[in-house]
Amino acid sequence: MILTGMINLSAFLESLETSGLATKIRDSLVLFPLLESAHVFGLALVFGTIAVIDLRLLGIASTQRSFQRMASEILRWTWAAFALTALTGALMFTTNARVYYHNAFFRTKMLLLLLAGINMLAFELTAGRTVQIWNKAPSAPRAGKAAAALSLALWIAIIFMGRIIGFTTTRAAPSTPPPAGINFDDFLQGAPNGTANPLPRNK
């Protein structure tokens, strides 16, 4: 039973890697770098907006403002940015699924993301229930502060795990040499310059 599950998972990861979309990303010189850039943009917005909320809960910043108002104005953008980050992350994962899946830092990152989700839930079930009482107070009750501090620590750790994945994995090589005419200056000059595909790295 467990063995069947493992075989299925391995087959699933392989089917992700051989999918048309993953192949297209691997074979392109620009798609992976652009996905990674969008991933960093998304996570910067996720971290930046969450930090604003967490610092408010801790009583360090924005202490004069209503917590509920801030949360309702800001968190929708956090979720939109998170969706962008998750989507671009998933697309990058498919290009080299088996390597990422077995990478310890990738696994740690997924675990920390899960913990960040549980932490959010714990906040809703504790300090979140009494928000009417402390909404305008300069900081949240102790449980809310603890969740905010934990949230900041978890997200910083998630960023570090994400960054070190790039140093501990090698990027999948394109299955075929990239077709001529897809460099940026080819768009401008209209002629492929025939430069060789540089060694893939994503540090």
Residues that bind other proteins (CB under 8 A): 29-30, 32-34, 36-38, 40-41, 43-49, 51-52, 61-62, 65-66, 69, 73-74, 77, 156, 159-160, 163-164, 166-167, 183-186, 193, 195, 197-198, 201-203
Beta carbon nearer to other proteins, 1 or 184: 184
**In whole angstroms, how close is the CB of 24 to other proteins at the nearest point?**
16
Beta carbon nearer to other proteins, 142 or 163: 163
CA–CA distance, 60 with 43 (Å, rounded to integer): 22
Beta carbon nearer to other proteins, 12 or 167: 167
Q: What secondary structure, in 3-state letters, does the chain show?
A: CHHHHHHHHHHHHHHHHHCHHHHHHHHCCCHHHHHHHHHHHHHHHHHHHHHHHHHHHCCCCCCCCCHHHHHHHHHHHHHHHHHHHHHHHHHHHHHCHHHHHCCHHHHHHHHHHHHHHHHHHHHHHCHHHHHHHHCCCCCCCHHHHHHHHHHHHHHHHHHHHHHHHHHHCCCCCCCCCCCCCCCHHHHHHCCCCCCCCCCCCCC
**In whole angstroms, how close is the CB of 15 to other proteins at the nearest point?**
27
Beta carbon nearer to other proteins, 2 or 199: 199
**In whole angstroms, how close is the CB of 32 to other proteins at the nearest point?**
8
Angle at 164 between CA 40 and CA 32, to 5 degrees: 45
**In whole angstroms, how close is the CB of 174 to other proteins at the nearest point?**
13
**In whole angstroms, how close is the CB of 98 to other proteins at the nearest point?**
22
Beta carbon nearer to other proteins, 9 or 200: 200
Beta carbon nearer to other proteins, 17 or 54: 54
**In whole angstroms, how close is the CB of 125 to other proteins at the nearest point?**
26
